[in-house]
Amino acid sequence: MRLLGALLLVIALTTGAPPAAADPRWEFYTDDTTRYGSPWFHGRHRIMIPFGCTRAPYYSPDPRCRRNRGFHHGIDLAMKCGTPLTAGRRGWVVGTQGLGPAYGSKVLRIRNFTHDWDVVIGHARRVLVEPGDRVLAGQRIARAGANAAPDGCHLHFEKRAIRGGLSTAGRPRPLLDLRARR
Ligand SMILES: [Zn+2]
């Protein structure tokens, strides 16, 4: 009996706390395993698909990319469903007409005239603000989801020109302000 007790203790110690629940649908198309923080979301999360040409199979072949690869117009960060998203900078919430169904039905577009950008946030589970609202830095604006995304809950963060279409999407990373520490 003493042996059984010791065995149970060993099992309890080695299994430990359950690992953080990963979404089984996540597929990572980058070697970067760093968990980043950002003023745009709570917690620290891994990049799933970077901006630009990618071997991720979800995008049509793009003339800018070699080997028939597609072009990802934003940056995707894998995060648990429901993770709070916050406004990293102040701005105005504007309408989402013309974005198309690929971003999901809960999509958010924020405009900052001073710094000359629109931000598009896709695949949210919930959007907490409405067109016409002013948002302040740090304000909760949405919750991450997998709305219209085949690859699990994540944040799709895209930077565009003011009122710009998809072709104006540019490198989102400086605005996303990813921080590897703290
Ligand atoms: Zn994306």
What predicted TM-score, i.e. pTM, was given to this entire model?
Answer: 0.88
Separate counts of helices (H) and strands (E) for the chain = 2, 13
CATH assignment of 21-176? 2.70.70.10
Answer yes or no: are the C-beta atoms of 135 and 93 closer than 8 Å: yes
Cα 138 to averaged position of ligand 1 atoms, centre (Å) = 22
Answer yes or no: are the C-beta atoms of 58 and 75 closer than 8 Å: no
Cα 165 to averaged position of ligand 1 atoms, centre (Å) = 15
Question: How far is residue 36 from each of residues 16, 42, 111, measured CA to CA in Å?
Answer: 25, 10, 24
Cα 156 to averaged position of ligand 1 atoms, centre (Å) = 4
Q: State the Cα–Cα distance between residues 87 and 147, nearest whole angstrom.
A: 20
Cα 150 to averaged position of ligand 1 atoms, centre (Å) = 11
Q: What is the pLDDT of residue 16?
A: 46
pLDDT digits (tens, 9 = 90+) for 138-170: 999 999 999 999 999 999 999 999 999 999 999
Beta bridge partners of 98: none
Q: What is the pLDDT of residue 18?
A: 46
Cα 72 to averaged position of ligand 1 atoms, centre (Å) = 6
Cα 2 to averaged position of ligand 1 atoms, centre (Å) = 55
Cα 71 to averaged position of ligand 1 atoms, centre (Å) = 10
